Chain A
């Protein structure tokens, strides 16, 4: 049973949503620290452009499209949940989960290809950052996907519908991180 504390709203928004914003804020500094470190190195090492030329912009763009579309389905799930339609919300969440799976599969294939070409994590520091940043992001995709499944299972039965928005906000954050990773790792050459 939920404590009464969880149901109060002195700050004007429900507790769950308030908490998700704090989670997003602390995640911004984790990714921020990593990406700022990468950017500083990148600017100081113009030759990294040559290394970055070996990333595949089409695969990156496809993955960007996948995440953007999954963000769409996440917000449509939220709209359905607002209307009280748990089954529809769950369905859209499953689509989003599908997007997560697609993203991870494409990335796995991409990395396999790159590793076969000798672009391993220890090849040089550009590639170290590449795999670390994209890998940390991918971990968040996987975690988000799992949580999404759990939320969908409950939402299907019209329970805890507010959680649809919460996992959605997290998912949009994951999408936004990739929106920045894409130019940083793929486009800038």
Chain B
């Protein structure tokens, strides 16, 4: 049964080690914005998020030893989300079209009160 193969693999992945890497990455992603460079912030925030997600998926969810179709399934639905973005963004992110404008409604942040 496939579970036997799994336990052999498990001994090679030190879960605590993976966790330590994740924590270090978290620290970097929090520190990134302090440098003030936008591209660095984006990379550390989202690039690291992708890396962390990959580490969790591979080592904790054991996607590396699941049958391939599980990975394909998850990647496919992610691609669908990209597709949704691509199809909607030209409308939702635009502020005017051939016969319309989206008025720039800037809502002030709520006043501070205690």
**Are any A and B Cβ atoms less than 8 Å apart in their complex?**
yes
Asked if B39 lies at the interface with its beta carbon under 8 angstroms from chain A, I say: no
Could you tell me if B23 and A68 are in contact, using CB atoms closer than 8 angstroms? yes
Question: Which residue of B is nearest A170, CB measured?
Answer: B61
- Point out the residue from A41, A75, A82, A117 that lies within 8 Å of B7, measured CB to CB: A82
Could you tell me if B56 and A124 are in contact, using CB atoms closer than 8 angstroms? no
Could you tell me if B77 and A25 are in contact, using CB atoms closer than 8 angstroms? yes
Q: Could you tell me the distance in whole angstroms from the C-beta of A79 to the nearest C-beta in chain B? A: 6
**Chain B residues, Cβ within 8 Å of A24:** 74
Could you tell me if B33 and A36 are in contact, using CB atoms closer than 8 angstroms? no
- Point out the residue from A21, A65, A188 that lies within 8 Å of B26, measured CB to CB: A65
**Chain A residues, Cβ within 8 Å of B109:** 50-51, 54, 119, 123-124
**Chain A residues, Cβ within 8 Å of B41:** 187-188
Asked if A11 lies at the interface with its beta carbon under 8 angstroms from chain B, I say: yes
Q: Could you tell me the distance in whole angstroms from the C-beta of B63 to the nearest C-beta in chain A? A: 9
Could you tell me if B112 and A172 are in contact, using CB atoms closer than 8 angstroms? no
Could you tell me if B92 and A12 are in contact, using CB atoms closer than 8 angstroms? no
Known: A82-B10, A123-B110, A187-B33. A28 touches B60 (CB 8 A): no
Interface positions, chain B 11-60, Cβ under 8 Å from A, are 15-16, 18-19, 22-23, 26, 29-30, 32-33, 41-42, 45-46, 48-49, 52-53, 56-57, 59-60
Could you tell me if B81 and A61 are in contact, using CB atoms closer than 8 angstroms? no
- C-alpha gap A33/B108 in the complex (Å): 26
**Chain A residues, Cβ within 8 Å of B101:** none
**Chain A residues, Cβ within 8 Å of B45:** 183, 187-188
- Point out the residue from B48, B56, B74, B113 that lies within 8 Å of A28, measured CB to CB: B74
Could you tell me if A25 and B73 are in contact, using CB atoms closer than 8 angstroms? yes
Question: Which residue of B is nearest A189, CB measured?
Answer: B33
- C-alpha gap A119/B109 in the complex (Å): 8
Q: Could you tell me the distance in whole angstroms from the C-beta of B27 to the nearest C-beta in chain A? A: 8
Could you tell me if B73 and A72 are in contact, using CB atoms closer than 8 angstroms? no
Which of A101-109, A137-145, A149-157, A173-181 forms part of the interface with chain B?
Answer: A173-181
Question: Which residue of A is nearest B51, CB measured?
Answer: A179
- C-alpha gap A103/B26 in the complex (Å): 16
**Apart from A124-B108, A182-B49, A187-B41: 20 A-B pairs, beta carbons within 8 A:** A12-B2, A24-B74, A25-B73, A36-B81, A37-B92, A40-B88, A44-B92, A44-B93, A51-B109, A57-B33, A61-B30, A79-B15, A83-B7, A117-B113, A118-B111, A168-B61, A172-B57, A176-B56, A180-B49, A187-B29
